[in-house]
């Protein structure tokens, strides 16, 4: 492949993979079972990325591994309704078509594990999308590093990744402890815990203790996404939940965290995180967004119950995959949400919408239950944020003010 005998796409891909292997002193390449491709949105890819993907597709690149895609920059069913330009949509459609030409499954979601892409324990994979990467490692027990856009494409084309980092047993043990000393009653509490963990752990592997064994996939989804927001955590252990961590000892292996690497997450830390995420100075709210990461059908059913018979003074957007949106339609949740004045936006990520889009459309303050969303819209879309439970966000939508 490296010699170019099999053509340009495989030569370029192998150059990327060998370059990575040399950087990280990997001694061999290993076959992978699946890929999740993050940079299939025009905002993240930029002109260079768009041209790179087009070139690979035009020169005959074909994925040899199952590869699915992350959210795009346009909610395909609703882009006109929310005011996205046709130019942006065309650009996105062209990029998406090039991924499809190479054989990608267009899942267009950051929660691929909710639509059937569920790697099994111990499986080597090459996933990009930081929130999904943590989920694959920490919840499913699969093995992946935090891949970048080019390296994940290269792995999908060649079927290989370098053997280093989280592919190796010795690098998967915890190296700091976060003792949870407060009740986590809502997915937003798990998100706040992740926000805290990212800050203190940075690129470490935290071991969480004190989390009840009854936590749900939605709780874990929010925890994973927030961990990968304030830090670059790619793996963690929840004792009794993470497949590799049936006990505290198994989670740490031979690592013994020093006292300076033992942290407590109690009521004070929970309040502190909420104060940091809540940076809107007044009770004004322009828009409510839920579903970062993409919402599950269970959460959408819950939202539909909360909105049944209500009329919204502020728009509510729920982000999810097209597959989950279809279920919501079949089950009647979509019509309840739309009757109230809300929307389910399939396949999109708010952060990838055109730069300046929100302010240009009169949205300056968002209410959300996702600190990841709050963090990114601040930097990328110049917005302020309110942070609270789903109920509180939806009450703000009904009343037109944040309370
Ligand atoms: Fe998904 Fe975008 Fe949030 S990719 S995790 S909706 S920032």
Residue-wise pLDDT for 19-78, tens only, equals: 999 999 999 999 999 999 999 999 999 999 999 999 999 999 999 999 999 999 999 889
Which SS3 state, helix, strand or coil, does residue 335 take? helix
Atom of ligand 1 nearest to the CA of 291: 6
Can you give the pLDDT at residue 132?
A: 98
Can you give the pLDDT at residue 227?
A: 97
Which SS3 state, helix, strand or coil, does residue 320 take? strand
DSSP state of 281: -
| Residues of the chain with confidence (pLDDT) below 70 | none
Ligand 1: which residue has its CA nearest to atom 5? 293
Cα gap 398→20, rounded to integer Å: 51
Can you give the pLDDT at residue 381?
A: 94
Which SS3 state, helix, strand or coil, does residue 345 take? strand
Beta-bridged to residue 72, according to DSSP, are 348
Cα gap 16→157, rounded to integer Å: 11
Pairing of strands 126-127, 160-162: unpaired
Ligand 1: which residue has its CA nearest to atom 1? 293
* Radius of gyration for the chain, computed over Cα atoms and rounded to the nearest angstrom: 21
Cα gap 323→385, rounded to integer Å: 29
- The answer to whether 386 and 402 have CB atoms below 8 angstroms apart is yes
Cα gap 59→61, rounded to integer Å: 6
Ligand 1: which residue has its CA nearest to atom 2? 349
Cα gap 403→387, rounded to integer Å: 11
Pairing of strands 66-69, 384-387: unpaired
Can you give the pLDDT at residue 356?
A: 94
Is the backbone peptide bond immediately before 293 cis, with ω within 30 degrees of 0? yes
Strand blocks (E) in 109-261: 126-127, 160-162, 176-180, 206-209, 237-238
Sequence-ordered list of residues with C-beta below 8 angstroms from that of 89, at least 6 positions apart, any chain: 74, 79
Can you give the pLDDT at residue 253?
A: 97
Pairing of strands 287-290, 237-238: unpaired
Query: pTM for this one?
Result: 0.97
Can you give the pLDDT at residue 209?
A: 96
Cα gap 95→221, rounded to integer Å: 28
Can you give the pLDDT at residue 280?
A: 96
Ligand 1: which residue has its CA nearest to atom 6? 292
Distance 34 CA to ligand 1 centre (A): 20
Cα gap 228→236, rounded to integer Å: 11
Torsion sign (Cα): 207, 208, 209, 214: negative
- The answer to whether 393 and 302 have CB atoms below 8 angstroms apart is no
**Is ligand 1 within 6 A of the CB of residue 293?**
yes
**Is ligand 1 within 6 A of the CB of residue 372?**
yes
Can you give the pLDDT at residue 84?
A: 95
Core vs surface per residue 277-300: b (16+ CB within 10 A) or e? bbebeeeebbbbbbbbbbbbbebb
Q: Which of 135, 39, 150 is nearest to 95 (CA)?
A: 39
- The answer to whether 40 and 70 have CB atoms below 8 angstroms apart is yes
Can you give the pLDDT at residue 260?
A: 95
Cα gap 297→230, rounded to integer Å: 27
DSSP state of 256: -
Distance 2 CA to ligand 1 centre (A): 34
Residue-wise pLDDT for 364-380, tens only, equals: 999 999 999 999 999 99
């Amino acid at each position: 492949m490296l010699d170019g005998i099999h053509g340009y796409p495989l030569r370029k891909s192998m150059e990327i993979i060998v370059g990575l292997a040399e950087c990280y002193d990997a001694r061999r390449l290993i076959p992978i079972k699946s890929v999740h491709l993050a940079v299939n949105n025009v905002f993240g890819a930029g002109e260079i990325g768009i041209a790179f993907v087009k070139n690979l597709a035009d020169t005959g690149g074909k994925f040899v591994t199952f590869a699915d895609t992350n959210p795009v920059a346009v909610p395909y069913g609703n882009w006109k309704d929310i005011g996205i330009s046709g130019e942006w949509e065309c650009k996105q459609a062209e990029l998406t078509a090039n991924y499809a030409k190479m054989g990608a499954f267009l899942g267009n979601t950051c929660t691929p594990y909710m639509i059937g892409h569920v790697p099994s324990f111990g499986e080597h994979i090459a996933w990009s999308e930081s929130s999904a990467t943590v989920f694959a490692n920490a919840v499913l027990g699969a093995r992946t590093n935090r891949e970048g856009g080019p390296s994940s494409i290269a792995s999908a084309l060649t079927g290989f990744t370098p053997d280093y980092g989280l592919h190796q047993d010795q690098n998967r043990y915890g190296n700091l402890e976060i003792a949870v000393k407060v009740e986590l009653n809502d997915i937003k509490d798990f998100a706040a815990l992740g926000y805290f963990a990212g800050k203190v752990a940075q690129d470490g592997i935290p071991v969480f203790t004190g989390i009840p064994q009854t936590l749900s996939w939605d709780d874990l989804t929010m925890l994973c996404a927030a961990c990968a927001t304030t830090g670059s955590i790619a793996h963690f252990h929840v004792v009794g939940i993470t497949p590799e961590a049936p006990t505290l000892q198994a989670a740490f292996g031979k690592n013994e965290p020093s006292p300076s690497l033992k942290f407590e997450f109690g009521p004070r830390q929970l309040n502190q995180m909420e104060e940091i995420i809540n940076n809107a100075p007044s009770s004004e709210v322009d828009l409510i967004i839920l579903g970062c990461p993409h919402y599950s059908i269970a959460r959408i059913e819950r939202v539909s119950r909360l909105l049944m018979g209500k009329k919204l003074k502020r728009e509510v957007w729920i982000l999810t995959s097209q597959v989950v949106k279809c279920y919501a339609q079949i089950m009647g949740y979509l019509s309840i949400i739309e009757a109230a004045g809300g929307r389910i936006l399939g396949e999109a990520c708010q952060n990838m919408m055109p730069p300046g889009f929100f302010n240009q459309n009169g949205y300056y303050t968002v209410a959300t239950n996702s600190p990841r969303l709050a963090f990114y819209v601040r930097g990328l879309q110049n917005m302020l944020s309110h942070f609270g439970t789903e109920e509180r966000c939806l009450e703000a939508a009904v009343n037109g003010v944040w309370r």
